[in-house]
Structure 1
Amino acid sequence: MGDAEAFTREFLPLFRPVPPTRPGVCRICHSGPNNARDTGGPHATCASCKRTTQHLYGHTKEVVPISLTTTNEQLYDVLIREKDPRGAGGRRERADFLAATVSHFYQQHARCLQERAGGPFTLVATIPSNNLHAPAKPLHLMWKVVEKVGALGRLWQPLLLEADTTYAPVLADRRSHRNAFQIPRPDRVDKARVLLVDDLFVSGAHVQSAASALIETGAAAVVALVIARLINPASADPYSAGIWKQAREQLFCFDRCCICDRHDHSRRTSNR
């Protein structure tokens, strides 16, 4: 990728800052957890993450979204409706925009991500398409995106394959399954530190099913880097609306991430 910083500069209004882990913010996906009726306090994880991780062999506790989004945002249109983004310089190619986003973020926060993995990444993986309407489409656009990012493209391998169409309805129903993905070359995964790159985190079913397959095959660590975490401000939980309101009021900056802010929040809390 060329000058990712210059490319993304005109698109900063499309991004919304992701909050660090704190009371009222899910420690896995950074959305708002449900309120525990018995204690009056927040769960450590949201109901969605609890549902998509509880029946797996293993799962990643490290999901790092670059941005928050809702279904009404242009970023959602780019990711899901496959529209080319419009910035100050006019319309840009969707794949180039996504690659610049991942590249710029990784340039700034490679160390943050590596800390969560326990060391430098040895492999990069993307999640294959699991589309009920296009089951023959074997690879998701994200592998092309990662290929454009020099630091990640050289580590990318087609580690994951969709097992078969049996599990597509399961994932579409926002439920995870340990057998949803296969690892054709287990020897490549053994003891690897894997960066799992995806576009949109909704329920976590795809990400956690893929992470489970990698961990069960022998991966030492799996950290998920996702371009956006979908949030629903109209959710019944008492936190999501506030998270989204704060995200819209703050300026997005690639210099910060939910891990950097996590450290700063912990220091601020301990100093009170």
Structure 2
Amino acid sequence: MGGAEAFTHDFLPLFRPVPPTRAGVCRICHSGPNDRGDGVPWPTCASCKRTTEHLYGHAEYVVPISLTAKNTQLYDVLVRKNDPNGTSGRRRRPDFLAATVTHFFQKHGRCLQGCAGGPFTVVATIPSTRTEQPAEAFDTMTRVVSMVGALASLHRPLLLEVVDTYAPVLANRKSHRKVFRVRGDRLDKQRVLLVDDLFVSGAHVQSAASALIEKGAAAVVTLVVARHINPDSKDPYSAGIWRESCARPFSFAHCCLCDPVRGRGALKRRSREDFADEVS
């Protein structure tokens, strides 16, 4: 898709910078983790702990392009499916999403590949939860990925629609390793980029990642347009993260993996023990 940088320039006020992993920022989703009670936060938030602990495997890296909250225009675009209104007027939602993903991947493809251990061999999207219809007929992100030149040729419709039995599980924002089925042969040695629009609890993303890993994927890295955050959360970190994000100008030049606030990129895999040592 040509002109992604110029396209997204008109919509920069919609985006909010995502903080890099550090004490008080979940190492998976970049929201605020709960406090352990001794003044040191857990390395992951309660939501990520809940949605990853009973799966076959999960995405260690979830990379949001932006943070978002309710009553923002980006939230309306992603959840209410409104067309965005920028400085040059209203634009089509799929075009906006494709330009956003294109521009981000142009700038940070290497950051994402570093998390995967090398170039991606497969791009996947999460199908619609409306199980009464074929997934491909309604999956906006499938259309979006098809418009992103660097990703379109790698896209495969790997994930089948949600299994009816487990749809209520997702509706309750819980994950399950059997929610999604994977088409075709095993994915041995495949590095998968999983692309989605909005990360809320992580149930959809991590259930999908688990299915891909169980099928043999060597790595699953998730790219999402936005991570939803609740500024009114009772945990001591989310409100501060949102205030910090709103106070900093957004730029596609930086992402949560190479943010200069952190001083170094997250281009190598880190264990839970590594992070625990870092925050203690």
1:158-190, Cα deviation, whole Å (9 max, x unpaired): 010124221111011110000000012133x22
Q: Return the alpha-carbon distance in structure 2 between the equivalents of residues 223 and 9 of structure 1.
A: 26
> 1:30 is paired with a residue of what secondary structure?
coil
- SS where residue 257 of structure 2 aligns? helix
In the alignment, which residue of structure 2 is the partner of 1:28? 28
Counterparts of residues 244-263 of structure 1 (less than 5 Å): 244-261=242-259
Equivalent residue, structure 1, for 2:61 = 62
- After TM superposition, the score normalised by the length of structure 1 is 0.94
C-alpha distance in structure 2 between counterparts of 1:208 and 1:28, whole Å: 11
Name the structure 1 match of 2:185.
Answer: 186
User: Aligned letter for 1:165?
Assistant: D
Q: C-alpha separation between the residues in 2 aligned to 1:149 and 1:122?
A: 15
Query: CA 1:166/1:18 → structure 2, altered by over 3 Å: closer, same or farther?
Result: same
8 A contact 2:64–2:226 mirrored in 1 = yes
Question: Structure 1 CA distance, aligned partners of 2:12 and 2:174?
Answer: 33
Q: Residues 190-201 of structure 1 correspond to what in structure 2 (within 5 A)?
A: 190-201=188-199
Distance verdict in 2 for CA 1:99–1:66, change over 3 Å: same
Give the aligned partner of residue 84 of structure 1.
83
How much does 1:130 deviate? Answer: 1.1
Evaluate the alpha carbon distance shift between residue 117 and residue 263 of structure 1 in structure 2; reply closer, same or farther with a 3 A threshold.
farther
Of all paired residues, the percent bearing the same amino acid is: 66
TM-score after normalising by structure 2: 0.91
Residues 90-123 of structure 1: CA deviation (Å, up to 9, x unaligned): 1100000000000000000000000000000000
Q: Is the 8 A contact 2:98 2:145 kept in 1?
A: yes
Question: Partners in 2 of 1:9 and 1:252 — Cα distance?
Answer: 11
| Runs of 4+ more than 2 Å apart | 262-267
Alpha-carbon displacement from aligned partner over 1:192-229 (angstroms, at most 9, x marks no partner): 00000000000000000000000000000000000000
| Deviation at residue 262 of structure 1 after TM alignment | 7.2
Distance between the aligned counterparts of 2:22 and 2:264, measured in 1? 9
Paired letter, 2:117: G
Q: Does 1:138 align with 2:135?
A: yes
Match in the other structure for 1:148: 147
Instruction: State the distance in 2 between where 1:43 and 1:174 align.
Output: 21
User: 1:114 and 1:263, CA in 2 relative to 1: closer, same or farther beyond 3 A?
Assistant: farther
Pairs aligned (count): 264
**What is the CA–CA distance in structure 2 between the aligned matches of 1:218 and 1:263, rounded to whole Å?**
35
State the one-letter code of the partner of 2:133.
A
Paired position in structure 2 for 1:12:
12
**Separation in 1 of the partners of 2:96 and 2:27?**
28
Gap regions ≥5 residues in structure 2: 266-277
SS in 1 for 2:135: coil
Inter-partner Cα distance in structure 1 for 2:195 and 2:169: 21
Indicate conservation of the 8 Å contact 2:129/2:162, yes or no.
no
Question: Residue 249 of structure 2 aligns to which amino acid in structure 1?
Answer: L
C-alpha displacement at 1:40, in angstroms?
A: 2.5
Corresponding letter in the other structure for 1:62? Y
CA 1:100/1:119 → structure 2, altered by over 3 Å: closer, same or farther? same
Tell whether the 8 Å contact from 1:194 to 1:222 is kept in structure 2 after alignment: yes
